[in-house]
Structure 1
């Protein structure tokens, strides 16, 4: 489904703060609170909005170290196999198949450097992994959680 401009504005408002009231969003987009609620309910029913969540600073939970791991896998390793293996690691925040030489890029949060190293060793030890290449994040510079569309300026 493709969102119209009004739905995009509602979704952007919710992406900025999912706890905003329908009345507050309505005032921003020019609709009544009940009209916003009906649109949000429809967007949820159609699958455009998949849920509401909270964003927590990983450091507040003890995850002080962040890194990215490029995974290079044996031939015939499916994305499903990679996803299945990585889903067992609570330290894996995200994983994606990618273009380029690597087969997947994995974002990891760990409590410290030793913890990151142990997770990296376990991932490298998966039967389908040929090698890994990792980088550690020194300082996150920009993280976006908005819901802009490709033709909407950020």
Structure 2
């Protein structure tokens, strides 16, 4: 009888141990399921993170490329504009200073020449006036002398 009770008690202990082991297996399976779920979540997160990082980096690199291209264009435009301004300033200085100075000097020389010519022309006008005056005076003198002499001679001869 004691053996039967002993065996019955041992069987109960074994069943309890077996139930405990089953509970542990259930817990282990639950943990494995949780671990698999966590790994799936982790892999999904890593995929999302990698995709996001790659997309962000590509977008950022594209933006940097665009920015660098724009800066290159801007620098080229500024250099071209500065070159044009330098050319414009050089042209204006050369044209205005050289052309204006040459034109002014030429005009002043022409003006001086013209003034000299006018002075010479005034002298010619004076000579013309002098010649006219002398001719008129000589004509008057000749006429007066002829008239006076003829009148005097005729009067004297009459007397």
Greater share of residues in strand: 1
For CA contacts below 8 A with separation 6 or more, give which structure has more relative contact order: 1
Q: TM-score, normalised by structure 1?
A: 0.13
Greater Cα radius of gyration, structure 1 or 2 = 2
Normalised TM-score (structure 2): 0.13
